[in-house]
Every structure is written in C-alpha cells, then in structure tokens.
Amino acid sequence: MLRLIHYALCPFSRSIRLALGECAMIVELEEERPWAWRRDFLQLNPAGTLPVLIERQGFIISGTYAISEFLAETQQKRSRNGDGQPHDVLFPGSAGDRAEIRRLTDWFHNKFDQESSRYLLEEKVYQRFADFGRRSPDPDLIRAGRTNLRYHLSYICHLVEGRKWLAGDILSFADLAAGGHLSVLDYLGEVPWEEFPQAKQWYVLLKSRPSFRPLLADRLPGMPPQRHYAELDC
C-alpha cells in the first residue's frame, strides 16, 4: 500500500490527499509534525517539507510538485464526456490548458502560501504546538495574512466568473491546490466566505466531492474546527 507522510493541517499535504482521492487510490497516512525536523524524516526528505509519498516498492517521492506530476503520469481514468478516451485526472486538456493549471497551482502553492496561509497557520497552529517559539501569535502577521487572503479570494471570484472550476470547466489540480490551502484556513475560521459568494460557491462544489470527505473528518487535538467546517453547504 502507498504511504503518505503528512500533517493534517498542512495545505500541501491536503492537496495531495485530494489528488489521491480523485485518482481513487488507497493510501496509508502517517503523521509528521512539520516543525519537528526529526532526523529520521530528514533522511527521507532532506528538505524537511511535507508531503512525502512512499511507493509500494519503497520509492520515495518528496514534495507536492513531484508527487502531483508522478500521479499525472501514472494515473488516468476514463473520460466522462463520452468519447471513451483516457485523460489526465489532475492536468486535463490541451497543452495550453495544462499550462494554465500549472500556473494556478504555482499561484496557490507559492504566492497564496507566502502571503496568507503560511502567516495564519504558523501563528495560530505551529507556534502553539511547537516545543519552541513565542507561544502567542503575532497580531501583525495575522493581520497581514487576513488582508492578503481577501485579495486571493477576490482573484478566485474573478477566475470562476466564466469557468466552472479555477482553470476551466473540468476539475484540475489547480482546484485541489487552492482547496488544500483554503480548507486549512476554513478549519481555523479565517475565511470570510460571506464577502466572496462566488468563491464560496466554487468551494462548496469542491467540498462536496468524495475526495474531500477525509479532510472534513480531520481533527486537531486541543483545536477543534469551526462549527461550519464539515457542513457541505457552507
């Protein structure tokens, strides 16, 4: 069985968990605290980052980019449009379509992470549970994360004005990357959905997929999610 080393509130891990779910792959989860920097984990991935996928033969694939591309190359399912042709589950469409998916994936896993989710996650979670650190959140960093989050939610609204999904009319890894980050912030109660109804409509659509159910069942000891977190219509 495949083994995924992850952390429940790691956005990158969540995007890969969603991808594995969309590919209908069964995986054994093993938790790793991203702030711990354990020697045994560093031997698997010297970068110290999550997630890490360990293949059946012991082959190690580290990082969201490498794992998503590995899945795209090895996992296909039948097209739903009736043509009977296999298509890429995570990066569907033409070369131009796939370029747009990768652009948006990079947007969320880099720009969104650096400007919003990293601030809020590290200040509200990592600092609380780590054996080191300030223990109390930095209000300036939280304020910056919240302000930047509104900018990114506005961009999501712009993207879905003429599209069903972020990169087009077919679900792609761009949606899963965005969903990984927003689901963490939604767990923390940081997403002002009422201000961005189009973004909320897209998120509810993503949230209702079977691949999302394991994420909605996640619970962090001592830090339960917001009441609406597991509700499919909000």
pLDDT tens-digit series, residues 164-196: 999 999 999 999 999 999 999 999 999 999 999
For the chain, which residues make up each domain, given as ranges?
A: 2-86, 90-216
The CATH architecture annotation of domain 90-216 reads: Up-down Bundle (1.20)
Comparing 2-86 with 90-216, is the CATH topology the same? Answer: no
pLDDT tier for residue 127 given thresholds of 50, 70 and 90:
confident
pLDDT tens-digit series, residues 12-28: 999 999 999 999 999 99
Residue with the two structure tokens 């720009």: 111
pLDDT tens-digit series, residues 186-232: 999 999 999 999 999 999 999 999 999 999 999 999 999 999 999 98
Question: 182: which DSSP letter?
Answer: H
Residue with the two structure tokens 């652009």: 103
∠67-70-76 over CA atoms, to 5°?
Answer: 120
C-alpha to C-alpha distance for 212 and 121, rounded to whole angstroms: 20
CATH domain 2-86 topology: Glutaredoxin (3.40.30)
- The token pair at 111 is 């720009």
Question: Per-residue DSSP letters for 9-43?
Answer: T-HHHHHHHHHHHHTT--EEEEE--TTT--HHHHH
User: Would you say the pTM of this structure is higher than 0.75?
Assistant: yes
